[in-house]
Chain A
Amino acid sequence: MTELNLFEITHKQLDECAEILQLDPGVHAMLRSPMREIHVSLPIRMDDGSVKVFQGYRVQYNDAKGPTKGGIRFHPDKTIDSVRAQAAWMTWKCALLDLPLGGAGGGVLCSPKEMSRNELERLSRKYIDQISEYLGPHKDIPAPDVYTDPQIMAWMMDEYFKISQDQQFGVITGKPVAIGGSVGRADAAARGGMYAIREAAEVLGLDLSKTTVAVLGYGNAGHFAASLCSELLGCKVIAVSDSRGGILNREGLDAKAIQRHKSMTGSVIEFPRSQAISNEDLIELDVDILIPAALENVITDVNAGKVKAKILAELANGPTTPEADDILYANGVHQIPDFLCNAGGVTVSYFEMVQNAYMYFWDKEMIHQRLDKKITTSYHAVYNASTRFNIDMRKAAYVVSVMRVVEAMKVRGWI
């Protein structure tokens, strides 16, 4: 199988928007390339005394709307194109939420599973050493991504402080709460998705208290989605699943009890008072809201036609293939595209920066309230674009994002 070039996918998506928006070719060309790329070599002394050199990247894609922001991945298979794609998507995501931020991405080619904690710490610090001049709360703000976590962010922040001689907590987000991280991050993505679902239901005229929900995937996002669906929205979750299969109870499932069951047995399957259901059947279940919350490419041209849900809320990244998008749109399934549906995470990261700048921290209620406002506004911007241009919600989300970046570039006099 040929490997997908993710950067080419971002080009394709941008090209479609450019056509809809009738972008000037020069502007279009500028948006197709990152503004700045930093390539660094990182010599690390390993525990056995040997020295190993790692390659690191940081791509700052577009900072028209503000300092760039994006994750750092530690992964052995990372290509520069995948980092570029990651940076491009962050640009669109921040713009969609109308955050005063541009997009970036970065990472180090390494196999963190094969490295000790001390080696990982040395690598994290060395990476910051090498790119620190391009970082800062007003320049570029990293965050955790694949195989990096709050601990690594903490080391990086500490290293940055040493170099800059300045304790600016906002230089990195996703930090442990003990050193300036924000509360409310754990369920931020799922919570943001709930606000979007609520708005979608409003638009579609659905009474949420009478709706049924199926959640595909029961990792962190899936679990929070299932539990918030009933807590926040008053919906009835009737089916959930994980990699080993699913469970169904038309009378409703108790998300917290499922979580307990899963933490004891390793899976949701065989949950008491439920019947077994396959992942395939769950996708085709007669529910009002379907929430894919874990894996990519689960809704394809094969099963998209059988989706009976009225709302498809993409809490996972890329759960729907482009072919499936067309089928769903034709069938009137209301999609909440991934980078709107799961944008709660980046929004709370932005809140972390804001709180760091204030040196004053909000409680969860404040986080939830402001997240609600951001997601609600963004949802409606996307929905309006979808109606205005008569396009599906995903294309509409891209259109809104690109419009906002272009607008920023224009007022700054770049174009």
Chain B
Amino acid sequence: MDAESRVIRSGIPALDQVLQGIWLGDNVVWQIEDLEIYQFFARPFIAQAITDGYVCVYLRFASHPPILDPQPGLVIIELDPSPGFDYFSAEVHRIIEEKGRKVFYVFDSLSALVAEWTTDELLANFFQLTCPYLFELDTVAYFALTLGKHHDSAVSRIRDTTQLLINVYGANGEHYLHPQKVWSRYSSQMFMPHVIQGNKIVPIFHSGDAAKIGVLSRKEPLRAGAESIAPWESVYRKLIQYRDCDEHTVNEKPEIFSLKQELTHMLLGSTPPFSDLADRYFTLKDLFNIRSRIIGSGRIGGKASGMLLARRILLREDGDFDFHPFIDSHDSFYIGSDVFFTFLVNNNLFRLRMHLSRVKQISSHDEFEEVERLFLEAHFNDEIMEQFRNMLDYFGQAPIIVRSSSFLEDSFGNAFAGKYRSEFCANQGTPEQRLESFLRAVKLVYASALNPDALSYRNKRGLADQDEQMALLVQRVCGMPFKKYFFPPLAGVAFSRNLYAWTDRIDPNKGIIRLVFGLGTRAVDRIGGDYPRMIAVSHPELRPEKGDKVVKYSQREIDLLDLEKNDLVTMPVEEILSNADYPNQHLFVSIFKDGFLDDPAFVLLDSADGADGEYSEYVLTFNNLIRKSKFVEIIGKMLAKLEHYYGLPVDTEFTAYIDPKGNCHVNLLQCRPLGLPGTEGRPAVIPGDISPGDILFRSSRIVSSGVVKNVRYVILIDPAGYASIDSLETKKLMGRIVGRINSHPQIIEGKSMMMGPGRWGSSNIDMGVNAHYSDIGNTSVLVEIAREEAGQVPEVSYGTHFFQDLVEAKIVYLPVYPDDAKTEFNADFFENSPNVLAELFPDSIEYKDVIKVIDVPAATGGKSLQVVANLQTQNALCYLA
């Protein structure tokens, strides 16, 4: 298109003259002092466009009076910016996409967005994201900004992106128009101030007049001098004077309290009930401390907020237990949520993210690798880079961890457990090398917002369109160096409710601890063949294993940071412990020797293979820690206090150590509400009147409650068939096939129950089907077919991220013991019902001996499958009705 045919009419010929015409594709940003001026330019613009036959759209989202009145030919679309930048940007994008090419837009004042989003950064992001798309579609769009009330860096970014930037201001009783940028157009007077006189716009050449206007106008001469109206800065400016006020004064003065509340919401989010807790327990000083440790701007996300709130609650002086001597301080930094979007927008990744969030067919793990590559190639702006350098200087060579702390993650009702990544940085090397590793970690965590598991989870829970900003939490790795390694002696997760109460003696309300030696990654994830110590807080010594089974169900590998390799590594525990020189080792290990496990009576002197040459080994049982230290008591009291204040069961992550005097110290890394199955509504009642012929199986030792009605499909991985597969690759493939079945529309619609040998979600394929959450996310019931003699003891899957996902998704998880007479396992039904696998997936017929899909109504003459599981009575029933 040549320049002439691109020119449109603005409705004000004088303006067209000054600007040498507005073109199709132009984004026109008006920096104004009041809205009337914006109306002055926008109204003729739309009137002219309607006359000229263009489609005109007014995007109405601010609380200020309307810029345009309803009129024939004008489409007014109302939008709500309050859900956040992410949601709003996506909506605007959708509208632009839908309306198509050569549409004329007028947007409400963009400054109104700042009131909702609190920072200029997001405003600039929105503009930077939206403007190029409008340009691509040859539209013409009018935007307004309040002049001199936005941060210089934001205005600069807008200036760099837009085609036209025009200031309009008043001075000396006149209004002046002063173009700042007019892309690809030039005249000798274009960038002079112009006075608006009726329908004329006249340039001011006289130097004296021009200087007078400059002096008399209210705007700051340089953009850097502007005081932003964005609450991020304005609230802070207003509150700083009260920084040292005591809590009482702040809470008693409504105006201060409401500002404090605003600051709390800006930093931590405004979703109740979390925000209520935050309002109540954070002091102004706490909030300033948080703000001073934020890189960039925006919120600090769910994980960081949860950690801070929990610490604040624990350290409150009430009750009879003083946590101060036991809870370590922290010096974490937060990468504000705005940084994530700026990163996406600046590197053209936002649209990719929007695309991946929306497509129904979730991308494969291979495609995700490509996403990661794009993220790794992307860059941060100089300002953020400088803050990163500052932070790294602060930490020196201390190992750090970059943890995702997104809005949805760890907030009430959504545990995005393990979907987003955490990355360790051993943080060794020159400042440049350390910065490089840190940037890589940040980018990988950012990329994980797009991983298929996370997207699938968001879709499943109807969160796909919700605002999901990714803040990051940068924490010092707790621990101490040992030889060339760095790790905490104790780490784990603790829950205030114990769903794995495998004996009546255990009080489920006292909670459970999943404890490991070394980094907590092994407690959080579910790793086949390696076992954390499960400690029931009510009865810490009890465990479901005895004798040499304790050895089998113990932790064999440790995750730690290798300071020489500058990396996270996994290695045999034996290599760390065999010389018996790890501090306090006698508290963590038992000695398996002479056919029994013995807890050391004193510090260890010898390697496990002692002088007498008898076979022996150190086994991580933590028996002495449990028996002789306050560790369990502290964690138990911590869980009780947090549950009391939260008013909900909680799920925490911690590290701990024992100091040279034998005192226990805990570092609370995370706290969030624990999703508990079976706590909603009435308890699940196991029907007693089912005829024996309709019973498919009973289950005991169950770990979740629930009622699932009218299940149509059973997807059965035949244990014998699975065991007979020799090739590891083929075994792995089974998980992928299950994943395909899981996403088949008929299966989703009809409800399904998946049954398979051993542990679901195990990374060890011999222990069970290697399925990710996304492979099983649509099922309603997941059944573990446990055969003890085959080594498939139902594992304490509770506490793992995988299990947490199941709980959150309300997937009922049941172990079933076909070999136990009490199970009443109807092998005949499962063996003899027709397999419809080939009907659903004709290309999978070769796996029909391993994977069976039963269409229950077809196999039973119209009945469907029902499951009732009651955690309290530890019984579950699966039957036909």
Contacts and interface: CB of A to CB of B under 8 A. Distances in A.
Contacts of B724: 278
A29 B292 CA distance: 90
B790 interface: yes
Contacts of A111: 503
Contact of B791 (A177, A243, A265): A243
A141 to B, nearest CB: 18
Contact of B546 (A112, A242, A263, A266): A112
A264 B539 contact: no
Contacts of B596: 144, 149-151, 176
A219 interface: yes
A266 to B, nearest CB: 4
A150 B791 contact: no
Interface stretch (B246-254, B258-266, B610-618, B741-749): B610-618
Interface in B610-633: 612, 614-615, 617, 627
Contacts of A151: 596, 598
A244 interface: yes
Contacts of A185: 594-595
Interface string A170-185: 0000001100010101
A119 to B, nearest CB: 9
B766 interface: yes
A116 B614 contact: no
Given A183-B612, A276-B726, A150 B595 contact: yes
A323 to B, nearest CB: 19
A114 B536 CA distance: 11
Interface in A230-286: 242-245, 263-267, 269, 276, 278
A9 to B, nearest CB: 20
Interface residues of B, number: 38
Contact of A113 (B530, B542, B627, B726): B542
Nearest to B724: A278
Contacts of A295: 789
Nearest to A264: B572
Contact of A263 (B543, B597, B617, B627): B617
B546 A245 contact: no
Interface in B495-526: 503, 505
Contact of B595 (A1, A47, A116, A149): A149
B552 interface: yes
Contacts of A187: 615
B572 A1 contact: no
B595 A186 contact: yes
B791 A186 contact: no
Contact of A116 (B542, B548, B574, B767): B542
B529 A265 contact: yes
B546 A183 contact: no
Contacts of B542: 113-116
A149 B791 contact: no
A147 interface: yes
A267 B758 CA distance: 16
A149 B789 contact: no
A219 B615 CA distance: 13
Contacts of A278: 723-724
B726 A147 contact: no
Contacts of B617: 263
Contacts of A219: 548
B597 A264 contact: no
A116 B541 contact: yes
A176 B594 contact: yes
A117 B626 CA distance: 12
A220 interface: yes
Contacts of A242: 791
A160 B43 CA distance: 103
Interface string A94-122: 00000000000000000111111100000
A186 B594 contact: yes
A264 B790 CA distance: 20
Contact of B615 (A115, A186, A269): A186
Contacts, number: 83
Interface residues of A, number: 36
Interface string B771-813: 0000000000000000001110000000000000000000000
Contact of B766 (A47, A113, A269): A269
A117 B505 contact: no
A183 B615 CA distance: 11
A318 to B, nearest CB: 14
B821 interface: yes
Interface string B533-563: 0000001011111111000100011000000
A190 to B, nearest CB: 11
Contacts of B572: 263-264
A263 B551 CA distance: 9
A224 B121 CA distance: 68
B574 A263 contact: yes
Contact of B574 (A113, A117, A264, A276): A264
Given A111-B503, A183-B612, A266 B594 contact: no
Contacts of B547: 147, 149
Given A243-B790, A243-B791, A266 B598 contact: no
Nearest to B557: A264
A266 B530 contact: yes
A60 to B, nearest CB: 25
Contacts of A144: 595-596
A243 B787 CA distance: 11
A278 B766 CA distance: 12
Contacts of A266: 529-530, 552, 556
Interface in A291-331: 295
Contacts of B615: 186-187
B614 A117 contact: no
Contacts of B612: 177, 183
Contacts of B543: 113
A219 B91 CA distance: 62
A117 B789 contact: no
Contacts of A269: 766
Contacts of A243: 789-791
B546 A147 contact: yes
B595 A263 contact: no
A150 B594 contact: yes
B595 A114 contact: no
Given A113-B543, A264-B557, A276-B726, A183 B614 contact: yes
Which of B548, B574, B596, B726 counts the most chain A CB atoms within 10 A? B596
A78 to B, nearest CB: 14
Contacts of B530: 266
A151 B598 CA distance: 8
A276 to B, nearest CB: 6
A36 to B, nearest CB: 29
A220 B539 contact: no
Contacts of A114: 503, 505, 542
B529 A267 contact: yes
Interface string B166-201: 000000000000000000000000000000000000
A116 B539 contact: yes
Nearest to A147: B546
13 contacts: A111-B503, A113-B503, A116-B542, A177-B594, A183-B614, A185-B594, A186-B593, A186-B594, A186-B595, A220-B595, A243-B791, A244-B791, A266-B530
* CB-based closest 5 A-B pairs: A243-B791, A266-B529, A149-B596, A114-B503, A264-B572
Given A115-B542, A116-B542, A263-B617, 17 more contacts: A1-B821, A116-B541, A144-B596, A151-B596, A176-B594, A183-B612, A183-B614, A185-B594, A186-B594, A243-B790, A263-B556, A265-B556, A266-B529, A267-B766, A269-B766, A278-B723, A278-B724
Interface of A: 1, 47, 111-117, 144, 147, 149-151, 176-177, 181, 183, 185-187, 219-220, 242-245, 263-267, 269, 276, 278, 295
Interface of B: 503, 505, 529-530, 539, 541-548, 552, 556-557, 572, 574, 593-598, 612, 614-615, 617, 627, 723-724, 726, 766-767, 789-791, 821
